[in-house]
Structure formats: structure tokens, C-alpha cells
Chain A
Amino acid sequence: MAKVLLEMKSITKTFPGVKALDNVNLRVEEGEIHALVGENGAGKSTLMNVLSGIYPFGTYEGDIVYDGEVCEFHKIKDSEKKGIVIIHQELALIPYMTIGENMFLGNEQGKKYNIDWNKTYAEADKYLAMVGLTESSKTLIKDIGTGKQQLVEIAKALAKHAKLLILDEPTSSLNETDSRALLDLMKKLKSEGMTMIIISHKLNEVSYVADHITVVRDGSTIETLDAKTDDISEARIIKGMVGREITDRFPKRHDCEIGDVMMEVKNWTVFHPEFSERKVVDDVSINVRKGEVVGIYGLMGAGRTELAMSIFGRSYGIGISGSLILKGEELTLKNPRQAIKAGIAYVTEDRKGNGLVLSNSIKVNTSLANLDALSSGSFIDKDKEYLVAEEYVQKLKTKTPSVEQLVGNLSGGNQQKVLLAKWMFADPDVLILDEPTRGIDVGAKYEIYCIINDLAKAGKSVIMISSELPEVIGMSDRIYIMNQAKIVGEMKASDATQENIMACIVKSGSEA
């Protein structure tokens, strides 16, 4: 039996009116990768904030025993001094500083008022080599991709002499190649004696790296699974997370008739708005029929979002060429307003960044894209607006005390539902859903899938962009595969397997 490095005993943390953590226990052995899984809002992040001292000692009950002693962390510095370093989900790097400057931010090398830059960069290079990065530490952060930025974060943590590394959703913004590289790095670090806790929604990754998996649900630890002795299949983990077995992750669509072509895009080419010689969408032709769900699969950076946004009233890109045919009529849509009027909706992948107004209520967000329908002259009928918002809250089963609730206070899944409600109320013929289930938990995903099915049944055309293969295969009627700005394959969902989709991408990559 390995030595226990960290033990959190009966941790209870209450916020006004809410018990966020209820008697949570966590044991982490030295030199292991320990995964923490659970639905959004289950309490994983709260637990890690307790551990790292963001919620200081005294604001919670229970004990943290680390390296054999009971610890009282009052601030992050306290826990870092002991070697507990947390890497947050949102990257905390400053784009216009070099890798080296970022790595030693708050931990500057040299004397008190005199930073030793030679030492800084030499040390930085040393740690970069440890995580397998060949970039110079004098490179600006903005010039490297998100995958490499995540590695810099890890190097930064190592530079703090971390003994216990906590990674909160480290792969949420990475593509599959970068994710795999990161997970392999974790394994390598483990073999060198590092202890790690990983929080993740991606259960296949968890199964891949973890030695132990602790499931958190509703603020309590449900169980800890041992990778060596227990079943750690995705189905088994999900059962623990939601407390029931989800037999079918993707609901079936019954009696859904696929009709004529609703929208067709031909020879669509888009250039990057800043690097104007770079093609981000290259001669793409796709179509979607009435009542059909078309999946677009591609890795991050393949040009999927750029394609979608350029179709949606040229809201992205320059030098756009090609034709857009909607209901048999060729159209030129100059801005999102015209696109909405024509019957296209783009449901963004970035609901907080450009989908919702977090400081506004559910009501205001729901009516946003179709305010004209609720107003005469320019006067808003607020009663009608209220009723519409109510209707969608009930229809989509959004969990909220009222439609006056600010969207910023909702969980990710419920925010996604408000975003869908907003675009459903705009009553489009074609809905482009960009990563509709990103960052939301398993239960809410299922509900989103049901909504997509209902839309198709109602005769809408749905284009679903996703980088999750099982989701694309499980939900689509037809799948386009996109890689490096081009459509590199098209297949019926019934013919699609994870293997032949990946084969398409690999093949196109080798041709280029």
C-alpha cells in the first residue's frame, strides 16, 4: 500500500442557504493520478478551492491532512508553499508576455528589486524541456497554441516545486491530439513521482490516465473506484455520477421525415480577418434538408465555427465567396440581422462570450434575437415577453426560480437551454448548433439531445458542429468531416464509425 499524501476528512462547506460540500472524504496516494468526476455543480471545484486555500481555513469544517500533518491554509500562497499547485480551467497566462515571464509571475527570480532575467529564462527553458516543449522561453504566449499554453501552465506549476498538481478540466479547450499529448505528459510525470488530481468531464480520458476515480454527486463523495480492480467503463462512471444508469446516451428520433433541401452552400471560401491571405474555409459545399440533423465533425481549428459564422450573415471572415441557397433562392446575407430574418440561427459554442448577456435576466435573453415579434412600433410588450420566457422555461425544463433570474447565476446546462430558447423563439428554418453540449453535464446533455430531436421533428434543419465523435455519430442523420478548412468526407450516420471518421482526417492530412 502506497503512502497517503493527502487526506481530506469530512469536509463540509456551506454557502448562505446552500450546503455545497457535505461530509466529503478524499484520499490521494503518493505518485498516483486521482480523478475527480461529477456533474457540474456537484462540488468538485469547491472541494479543490478548499484544498488550495481559496476558501480559507475556518470557513469550512473538517480536516486537511497533507504529508502527515493537519494543514490550515489561509491563502493560496500557503498551499503553494507546501507544494500544492492548482491549474485552473481558464488559462491564467498573459498573452503579451513571454513564456518565461509568465512562468515566474509572482515567483520572480533574482533579488528583491532586481529580476535576474538570465536566470529566469534559463530556469524556464529547463522546465519547458521537462514538459516536452521545444519553444524558446522568450516566445510570447499569444504566438503558441492553446495546447502548448496548457503545457506552459504545467511547466509553471513545476517551477513552483509542486508535489501535488491539481488540473481542473485541462483538456476542455484542446483538440484530441493535444489532449492525448497532455495526458501522456501526465503519465510521464507520474512515473517521475508526481502526484496529480485531475478534474474532467471527458470520461474516456479519465479512464485512460487515472489510478483512482472519486465520484462526487450533490456535494458528497459517492464512491472511489480503483482502476486495477474495479470496472471503470464510461457507463459505470456515469452511473455513479447521475445515480442512475443511462442506457441510451442518445435518444432516438422516431417519425421524423426528411424532406427537401432547405439550405445549400456551394464553393464557400472564407479568409481570415487579420491574416488576409489565409483561407479558413476552402471551397466548402454542404447542404441540409428539412427535418434533418447534419453533423459537422472536425478537430478544433478545422474551420467549423468559421464556416458557420460566415454563413450566418458574414459575421466572421473577409473575402467571402460562394453561393448560399435557402429554400431554392440564392441569397446574399450581409449581417446577422438579415440572416435571422432569412431564417438562419447560429447557436454559438461560446455561450458566455457571445451567446448570452450574463448580467441580464432569462426573460431579456430569450427575447433578444426576435424582439421585433414582441413589440409594436418600438414599444416592447413586456407581458408577452414574460409569457414567452415562461413558456420556453417550461418547454426546455430550465431549472430556475423565475424568468427574472440573471443568466449569469445559472449552471452551464441551464444557460445552454436559455441560449437554445433564444434561437428557437427567433423561429428559424435552419439552426446551426456549434458544440451544443460543451461543458455541460451528462444529464443536461441528454435533455439537449431531446430538444434537438424535437426541432428536427418540427421540420427544422439542424446543423450540429461537434468535436465529440460519439455525439456526432449518435445524433446525426448525415455527417460531414472537416479538416484544415476543407470538407474531407461525407457519410451517412449509419455507415459512420469512430474509426472511419478518423481515417478520413488522417488521410486528408497526409495528402496535404
Chain B
Amino acid sequence: MNTFSIKNVLKKNTMAIVLFVVYVFFTIMTGGNMFTPSNIASLIDQNAYVFILGAGMLMCMLTGGNIDLSVGSFVCFMGAIAGVFSVINHVNTPLTLILVLVVGIIYGAVLGYLIAYLRIPPWIATLAGYLAFRGLGTQILITVSETSAISNFPDSFLRIFSGKIFETPWGEYNIPCILLGVIGAAAVVVLNFLSRARKVKKGYQVDPMYFTIIMSVIEVAVIMVLAVQLSLDGGIPVVLLWLIAVLIVYGIITEKTTIGRHFMTVGGNAETSRLSGINNKLVMFAAYLNMSVLTVLAALIVTARFGSANSFAGQNFELDAISACIVGGVSAYGGSGTVMGMVIGAALIGVINQGMSLMSIDQDWIKIVKGLVLLAAVVFEIISKKGNRKYD
């Protein structure tokens, strides 16, 4: 049975198509402003934390629609901690990074223990963190600084999480950036054809050749446009490298490893998973430990981007990450979802945000639209699933 059809391709890539259409729409509405190098760069810069927290939230949600409400407050807290170490006590940067990571791991382990072994419902356990860390973070900042913010982070710290590598003046073609684009594009094409060739060799069903070519052309086009635009803006943003690394790692974990499969199975049916020899508790523990570690990374990126730690940092980050997952087709009940889906979901929300801001639309309206998009995504998901159900 050949399942390849235009309809299936469209169905599978609905969200990607929606993202493209929305992007084009805002580019037209802003008179091309959306598509300028600096706006593309800031789209990545502003939303980097959503992708990173989204990866962690995806892992939590896979285990059964579980969420972590504490990430936003924890970003604030970790920013303050990093500031206390690095700025107030002049701890050198490598040691600062190790110390904040340790703090993150301790919180993750405690949270994981509470949820996995004491069976406290995740939203309650993390609601506690949501309240406590915002208060704690703010108190630390007020205590150590008159302005209730810590700035003047050392350059060695900022360079790891923000800025650009091999920076060139605005408007010039940045060669390393384009080179990275070419390498990335080539890698995608090679992987596409290798995987197709392997399937053909083993006699599996494959999509037609022209489809693989079309998909490769589209992917190369997207990567190269991005690379050229970023190169005009001065080079490769450091956060982009972090993003690529995190997304590739989590993409591999969810798609190709037994660990990822265990996460999906626990979310799909916890009892089945237990009786199949999977350690459900360890999986839940790992989900929240992992979330905390990624939250530390997000906190460092956000702190470096603003060059300061303040008590407003991380507000609503947890909701952004959850929204990105939901819009990206991650099941709210657990058991299914992909990193690619989450990325598209996060990008869609980011594009709507930026597009409407560039059109000088009021923040309240942006919230209304984002709410509707979230709802529409879930409704669409449920309706399309209904259509697949067989008669009984």
C-alpha cells in the first residue's frame, strides 16, 4: 500500500505551511520590513529561550501531558544567582557556569524526586517553584543591588551566550556565516538522499524521487536565505549555535534512541510501560531534571542578551514553552510530539509576535491573537484525529 499522496504531504506539513503563509503575510503587511536582516536576526535572538525551554517542555509533555510551571521563575532566580557569583563575588566565568549548573541540577533532582517518587502532581510541585523562585530571585536582587538588577557581567560571560562570532560590519557579506549555511544545506541534502537510498536498498516504501528533490530544494532555500540574511546582519549569532546544538541533540533523543521511546511509552500508557520493563519513575525523574538543566541554559542566554539579571526576567516563559509545544502538535495528553513540530510552533508564535509588533499593533491584541492561535491549533489537532478514527 502506497501512502504517498499530495493530500498526505499537505496534512503532515500543515503547520509548516501555515508558518510560511503567516510569514509572507506579515512581510507584505510590513512592506518587507519583516524580511530585513536585522529583523530576522532579532527573531532568533528574541525567541531563543522558547526553543530551548520548548525542548525541555516537550520531554515533560511526552510523559503524559505533564508541564513545568516553574521555568519562568527559575530563569529569574538563576539569573540572580549567576549575577551574585559572577558580578558581585567576581567568580571567574567557568566556575560561575559550573556553580549555576550545579544549582540547576539540585533543583531538578529535588523536583524530579517529588514528582516521580512522591507522586506529587507536576503542576502542583512546579506551581510551588513558580511562586517561590520569583520571590527568592527578586529578594536576592533587592538585597545585593540598589537598582534591584545586576548588570556589568564580564565580557567572557557575555561572549559565550550572546553576540556574534566572526563579526563583520552591517551590510557586508559575512563569509563564515554563509559557509555555515552551505555546510548545513549540504548536510541536509546528503542526509535526505542517503536515507532514501538506504530505504530503496532494503526494499521499503519510499516517496517518489521528485518529492525528495522538491523537499531538498525547499530546505536548501530556507537555510540559504537565512544564512545570507544573517550574514548581512554581521554574522552567526552565538545563540543560534546553542539552538542548533540543543535541537539536534533532542531531535536525536526523541527520534532515534530508546530513551526517547521510553518517554513516549510512559505517556502513551504508563501501566503498559511499567509491565514492559520500563522504569517509569526514572523517566519522570529524568524529564524534570532535564527541564531544569535546559532552564539554566535559557537563563544564561536571557541574562547575557540583556546584559543584566532583573526581577522581571523569565515572566511567562513557561507559558511560551507550553504554547510552542501545543501549537507544534505535541499531544496535551502525552505520548506523541516531535522536536521539529515544537520548533515550528515556537517559530509561528514568534513570527506573529514580531509581525504584529512591527505593524505597531497593541500588545493586548497580540495576546488575543496568540490565544486564538493556540486554541485553533488544538481544535485542528483534535478534529484531524477524529477524521482518522475508524468505525467500531
A18 to chain B, nearest CB (A): 6
Which residues of chain A come closer than 8 Å to B274, judged between CB atoms? 315, 336, 354
Q: Mark A338-382, 1 if CB is under 8 A from B, else 0.
A: 011100001010000111111110001000110110010011101
30 A-B pairs with C-beta separation under 8 A = A20-B391, A45-B392, A46-B392, A312-B275, A315-B275, A336-B275, A337-B277, A337-B279, A340-B277, A341-B277, A348-B275, A353-B269, A354-B272, A355-B272, A356-B272, A357-B268, A357-B269, A358-B268, A359-B269, A359-B336, A360-B265, A368-B265, A368-B273, A378-B257, A378-B259, A379-B258, A380-B258, A383-B204, A402-B1, A409-B390
The yes or no answer to B224 lying at the interface (CB within 8 A) is no
The yes or no answer to B341 lying at the interface (CB within 8 A) is no
B327 to chain A, nearest CB (A): 20
Q: Which residue of the partner chain A has the closest CB to B204? A: A386
Q: Which residue of the partner chain B has the closest CB to A360? A: B268
A-side interface residues, number (CB < 8 Å): 40
Of the residues A368, A375, A380, contact of B276 by C-beta under 8 Å: A368
The yes or no answer to B196 lying at the interface (CB within 8 A) is no
Which residues of chain B come closer than 8 Å to A357, judged between CB atoms? 264-265, 268-269, 272-273, 335
Interface set, chain B 127-148, CB cutoff 8 A to A: none
Interface set, chain A 390-439, CB cutoff 8 A to B: 401-402, 409, 422
A348 to chain B, nearest CB (A): 7
Which residues of chain B come closer than 8 Å to A354, judged between CB atoms? 269, 271-272, 274-275
Which residues of chain B come closer than 8 Å to A337, judged between CB atoms? 277-279
**Bound state CA distance, A313 and B3, in angstroms?**
41
Decide: A401 near B202, CB < 8 A? Known: A353-B271, A378-B258: no
The yes or no answer to A113 lying at the interface (CB within 8 A) is no
A182 to chain B, nearest CB (A): 24
Interface set, chain B 256-301, CB cutoff 8 A to A: 256-259, 261, 264-265, 268-269, 271-279
B-side interface residues, number (CB < 8 Å): 30
Q: Which residues of B contact A (CB under 8 A)?
A: 1, 3, 198, 202, 204, 256-259, 261, 264-265, 268-269, 271-279, 331, 335-336, 389-392
What's the count of A-B pairs with C-beta under 8 Å?
Answer: 91
Which residues of chain A come closer than 8 Å to B275, judged between CB atoms? 312, 315, 336, 346, 348, 354-355
The yes or no answer to A15 lying at the interface (CB within 8 A) is yes
**Bound state CA distance, A243 and B331, in angstroms?**
43
Q: Which residue of the partner chain A has the closest CB to B279? A: A337
Which residues of chain B come closer than 8 Å to A355, judged between CB atoms? 272, 275
Q: Which residues of A contact B (CB under 8 A)?
A: 15, 18, 20, 45-46, 312-313, 315, 335-337, 339-341, 346, 348, 353-360, 364, 368-369, 371-372, 375, 378-380, 382-383, 386, 401-402, 409, 422
**Bound state CA distance, A355 and B265, in angstroms?**
11
**Bound state CA distance, A354 and B277, in angstroms?**
12
A439 to chain B, nearest CB (A): 13
Which residues of chain A come closer than 8 Å to B257, judged between CB atoms? 375, 378-380
Decide: A360 near B271, CB < 8 A? Known: A369-B277, A378-B258: no
A346-B275, A380-B258 known; 19 new pairs, CB 8 Å cut-off, are: A18-B391, A45-B392, A336-B275, A337-B278, A354-B271, A357-B272, A357-B335, A359-B331, A359-B336, A360-B268, A368-B272, A368-B273, A378-B257, A378-B258, A379-B257, A380-B261, A383-B198, A401-B1, A402-B1
B220 to chain A, nearest CB (A): 25
B198 to chain A, nearest CB (A): 8
